[in-house]
Amino acid sequence: LQPYRLINNKGIWYLAAVHDGKLKTFSVGKIRSVQLRPDTFTRDPAIESSVQTEEGIWHSPQPQKVILLIAPKVADYFKRRQLIPHQKILAESTDGALTVETTVGHQNQILPIVRYWIPCVRIVSPVAWNDELINQLADYLTCIETPEPRPIQPRST
One digit per residue, the tens of pLDDT, for the chain of length 157 reads: 888 888 888 788 988 888 888 888 888 989 888 888 888 888 888 888 777 777 667 666 678 899 999 999 999 999 999 898 889 999 999 999 999 999 888 888 899 999 999 999 999 999 999 999 999 999 988 887 766 666 667 766 5
Distance CA(13)–CA(7), nearest Å, equals: 6
Do 54 and 105 touch, CB atoms closer than 8 A?
A: yes
Do 100 and 68 touch, CB atoms closer than 8 A?
A: yes
Specify the amino acid at residue 30.
K
